[in-house]
Amino acid sequence: MSYFGTDGIRGKFGQMPITPEFALKLGFAAGKVLKRNSPKNKPIVVLGKDTRLSGYILEAALQAGLNAAGVYVHLLGPLPTPAIAHLTRALHAHAGIVISASHNPYFDNGIKFFSSEGKKLPDTLQDEINQELEKDLVIDDTANLGKSVRVTDANGRYIEFCKSTFPYHFNLHNLKIVVDCANGAAYSVGPSVFRELGAKVISLFNEPDGLNINENCGSTHPEQLQKAVVEHQADLGIAFDGDADRVVMVDKNGDLIDGDHILYILATQANHKPKGVVGTVMSNMALELALQKADVGFVRAKVGDRYVLQALEENAWVTGGEPSGHILTLDKSTTGDAIIAALQVLTVMVEQGKALHELVEGFVLFPQVLVNVRLQQMIDPYSIPALVAEFDKAEQQLKGRGRILIRKSGTEPVIRVMVEGDQQEEVVSLANHLADAVRAQAQVA
């Protein structure tokens, strides 16, 4: 049985597999595998978390399991997911573990692993851990137990790393920035980075209580940030999600700058254009056309940063991401990093001497409508000729002006119908028409 999904192990705290008992066994299993793969010395694992209350329990359980397997654990405390990836490399650890459910509510949690290079754990090691989880937890020799230490300067190390990705001859002295920390992992380090680079920073949602992470705030709920930017007459706003691997921004007018806007800025407005950009099947067609016009390559990956990273490595490119704000800049960091992505946009603002809204002037996202069709029983829409004919007809109608995306949910009996095009009314009409067609065929099936 495999416990790992596309982004580690995730679920509701208190229900398998996100329980203290499972975390203890997972720590032990991962520790045994790491020991096998580093026989000459005791492996080191760095362990960080976001601000959820359940993180303290999972941290203690994982730590105990790892120590029991003979692993030395470096405890980092609450820090962004990309900080754990960076510190895994910086501290020459054999692996990194993050306890976080990212943008999910407080009652969820998750466990994600990084390799010694600060990248996703290889599938081969995940398979070994899964196999080890089927065995009993047996301690061979108490003389071989591991120890745990707290890394007291983890925050400072990560802040300096983030600042190093911003050109040393630039500063943010002339900018007022509102930073929404989502009551999450970046509540301390996020504002500090921009403040230390010279910006006047107004912090929002930076008082986590273990339950308010992502609650009506952060990158998934930027409405409060949009209001605050206008009220404070700030130059821009920056919103993270709970573990600060996603970012969205707000210009001085209160308009949202999402992941597609950020990729557009980094690909077309910077002094040095990338060779190509990786988006996903959800990336807006306006981005694809704008990159085409700028002579920048573009490919789409499946939804998920794992697939974006894979496509970047296959093409030897460095810039990619998702509309949700998960942005990768592989010349700066090994994984999606909200703070570093925001700094790259700020770099373009400073070098061009332009406001944020000026960097996206003329770039208008196509209207996009998503209809979720809930079914009694899941069907494969592409196995039904009548539906395929409807999809083909819609694609022909939008050819060169838009696109459709029909995909099955991986977690529930839902077909997601997405239509995108240059005319709002046409997009709404087509999306509803296709959704009705799916419902009708599902009833027949």
The larger pLDDT score, comparing residue 305 to residue 293, is at 293
Q: What's the pLDDT score for residue 37?
A: 87
| Domains of the chain with bracketed CATH | 9-152 (3.40.120.10), 158-359 (3.40.120.10), 368-444 (3.30.310.50)
- Residue-wise pLDDT for 15-61, tens only, equals 999 999 999 999 999 999 999 988 777 899 999 999 999 999 999 99
Query: Is 219 annotated as belonging to a binding site?
Result: no
Least confident window among 50-54, 57-61, 321-325, 398-402:
398-402
Query: Is 116 annotated as belonging to a binding site?
Result: no
- 102 catalytic residue (yes or no): yes
Peptide bond into 17 cis (omega under 30): yes
Q: How confident is the model at residue 267 (pLDDT cuts 50, 70, 90)?
A: very high
The label of the residue with tokens 């570093």 reads 340
- Residue-wise pLDDT for 201-247, tens only, equals 999 999 999 999 999 999 999 999 999 999 999 999 999 999 999 99
Any long-range contacts for 36-40 (C-beta under 8 Å, 24+ apart)? 36/128, 37/94, 37/125, 38/94
The mean pLDDT value of the chain amounts to 95
Angle at 72 between CA 71 and CA 75, to 5 degrees: 125
Of 2, 38, 100, 102, which is the active-site residue? 102
Query: Is 123 annotated as belonging to a binding site?
Result: no
Q: How confident is the model at residue 442 (pLDDT cuts 50, 70, 90)?
A: confident
Query: Residue 421 pLDDT > 70, yes or no?
Result: yes
Query: Residue 444 pLDDT > 80, yes or no?
Result: no
Residue range 333-339: average pLDDT?
Answer: 96
Q: What's the pLDDT score for residue 306?
A: 87
- Residue-wise pLDDT for 160-178, tens only, equals 999 999 999 999 999 999 9
Contact (CB, 8 A) for 300 and 322: no
- Residue-wise pLDDT for 120-170, tens only, equals 888 899 999 999 999 999 998 899 999 999 999 999 999 999 999 999 999
What span, in angstroms and rounded, lies between the C-alpha atoms of 423 and 398?
Answer: 10
Q: How confident is the model at residue 445 (pLDDT cuts 50, 70, 90)?
A: low
Query: Is 102 annotated as belonging to a binding site?
Result: yes
Residue range 100-127: average pLDDT?
Answer: 93
Residue percentage of the chain with pLDDT more than 90: 89
Q: What's the pLDDT score for residue 226?
A: 98
What span, in angstroms and rounded, lies between the C-alpha atoms of 272 and 261?
Answer: 17
Specify the pairing of strand 9-12 against strand 108-115: antiparallel
- Residue-wise pLDDT for 363-386, tens only, equals 999 999 999 999 988 889 999 999
Q: What's the pLDDT score for residue 411?
A: 66
Task: Walk across the sheet containing 148-150 and list its strands.
Answer: 9-12, 108-115, 95-99, 44-49, 72-78, 148-150
Residue percentage of the chain with pLDDT more than 70: 99
> Which residues, other chains included, contact 283 with Cβ-Cβ below 8 Å and sequence gap of 6+?
260, 263, 300, 322, 323
Helices (H), 69-114: 81-90
